[in-house]
Structure 1
Amino acid sequence: MANESDVRYYKPKAEFSLDITDIQNFVYDMSRCIKCKGCTWVDHTYMPGAKFMTRCPSAEKYQFDSYGAYGKMRIGHAFGEGVLDWNEKALEIIYACTLCGACDVGCKRNLDLEIELSLESLRVKAVQDGVGPMPAHKKTAENIAKNHNTYAAPHDKRKDWIADVKPADKAEVLYFVGCAASYTNKEIAQSVAKIFKAANVDFMLMPDEWCCGNTVFSVGMIDEAKALAQRNVDEMRKTGAKVLVTACAEGYRMWKVDYPKLLNISTDELGFKVLHLTEYADQLIKDGALNMNKAMNTRMTYHDACSLSRLSEPWTPYEGKRQWMGCVEPRLERRRGTNGVYEPPRDILKAVPGVNYVELPRMKENAFCCGAGRGTREAFPDLATFSAEHRLEEIKHVGVETLVTACPHCKNNFAQAIKAHGDDVQVMDIAEAICASIES
């Protein structure tokens, strides 16, 4: 006999939306997980072999079902139905996750359940219930509130990265630098500026750039994230720039996907175009505006940053009705991760003279997360390190000399793991790779 919760979701035309501030929107998704572990294993169609066949950092590290998406869905279902209260272990499990989207891609190969949104909603609920986020996340949030960056660095030092190439006062292209490239990875910001100069592209900066809010959003601090989203979008619109370019994958996802999600608009309604440097530079190269003539004689591979790949598809708000067997009306176009930014960075690297480009066994939507993003490095450094080391085994397996990323967080996490183990692998951001090939 069906219980009360079953009747609730079987009744015709049950209303729901993709609003992560209400966990009830995702009880259906969490309750329909069949524990097939498609979220953990790379689909057999793409399985590279027995050695590199998993996709979930949490499940791979902790080796216990609760840490995989299939376990988190059961925990979340219990929270949603009000039969489980928060405790220390449940909170740890919900946050010991990189929110990399691999589970969502895996599930949507078969079931079309909204796993990523369920995980985000669980973190929002943790904050709403007064138990989240983790202490390290709260410290980062305090830094952002006080100094508008994640590092507690002086706000008036944000533009100290500027060197030889000076931004314009007004331009159609606005370069959103981000906290990492402004403070800890100035080499990335300076490389981006040189790329613009080499292509004769005028670019401007925000008059007063603030943090994109990636961490506060990712850990469920929805009110703080929404305030940052509204502030930053308003400031961008005031500049009159038509295109926002960023070289940070996390910032790219925030501007393109999560700001619209927070503001209940579609990506198309932002009023400006959001591009990652790889998309912008790839078009410059193909148009003949950017020439890479200097050879880089190296065996090279590329790591797909999660927020530039499977998490980067445009956002469209949805409200509808769920009917028998999960059928919805109106039609919902699922974000399956297959339309991420995959070819532009590869086309760029293959265009560099002297590069012997090699793919990793797990690539594109099946790539294994570096472990650094979405608040993981701050609260669970051991998970971040484990994930980077696991990915590095794959990188060493294909015998490359140079690893290229498209996000400063990936670069830093890999660099730390490489240094700790004394590995002979060079890691660089794709902005640096482009810049190295255009400079004489």
Structure 2
Amino acid sequence: MDSGDVSGDVSIAPSVQGSDRFPAPDAAYVHIPFCRRRCFYCDFPISVVGDTRRGENSGAIAQYVTQLCTEIRRTPNLGTPLQTIFFGGGTPSLLAVEQLETVLTVLKQQFGLAANAEISMEMDPGTFDLAHVQGYHACGVNRISLGVQAFQAELLQACGRTHQPDDIPIAVEQVRRAGIDNLSLDLISGLPHQTLEQWTFSLEQAIALTPQHLSVYDLIVEPGTAFARRYKPGDKPLPSDTLTAEMYRLAQQTLSTAGFQHYEISNYAKPGYGCRHNLRYWENRAYYGFGMGAASYMQGQRFSRPRTRREYFEWLEAGMPMDDPVATEGDRLLDRLILGLRLANGLSLTTLEQEFGHDTVAQILTTLKPYEERGWVACQLNQHLRLSDPDGFLFSNTILAALFEQFSDD
């Protein structure tokens, strides 16, 4: 084993069972923060290691894996084996196979793992070879999310990506040769200088690679990023709101025609291939979070870890204090609405009424009435509240802002 050896003198916290009100987590998100460089749109908590470093030759990655395993061992087992594990980042495909195996071993020892668990790993083209992906698969990884983003070299360069278009089919072939048959591709629309023709080409190229899943994200210019220093939202060379809306509608039409189900505002899947892990987020279910900047949701409480390696290590040394404010009923309601309305199936009004009361549900429906009249919101006969596709999803920020104004405790 590498520096993340599972031996050590860290004691394991005693098990604490979940309750009927707050079921035990059965999912774990693991943050691997390392990247070759920071993409120009990225505001995630990452550490840049350069183009020549990866888990096999990076002391920083080895040290992080050791500390990550310490956090996992110290986290109480709340009583339910893991059904899903998601390695996100960052670029988890910079891990050595032995390092991934170490983390998975500690997770299994601490929480248990269901026989049919979904184990997902984010990977970037050009950051791994066939031996790596074969090793990850042998460790248990059975779902890959490949960060493609675009199929044009000029767009990849414009957003700071390290791979080239030719790396994409090679990466897909390596995933397939390793025996992994659950593949997702990520694409971004609304990039600087991006045209509708380029977006059409990217969608067609992605479909031709026959993935089981596609995530289609609209660029958000986040504060503090390189893009935020260069561009203001709505200004050229960023596409106009009208053009990005056309890109969204085109994706919905093109992918639906190709047999993908639009099951979440930004996600499409062939039947049976929706991401089981991410569905836990959108269904507002509990999950463990591990690593620098990771968020967890346990026993009705959300908690985020420090966003730099130094602060994360100091937090571990301090005993992992969790001092986020207690969630109010208004917080819990907004979480349920904001997350659940991302799903094509929407939210059960019966369940909302059982948890928050008849008057609250009536107030929700009153707040959403203007948007229902525009065709953006639908209340089905089976008492499911959902946003329409594509227009309700396109204007989701407007709809959610109205709900936030109505129900926020602040």
> TM-score scaled by structure 2?
0.29
The structure in which a higher percent of residues are strand is 2
> TM-score scaled by structure 1?
0.28
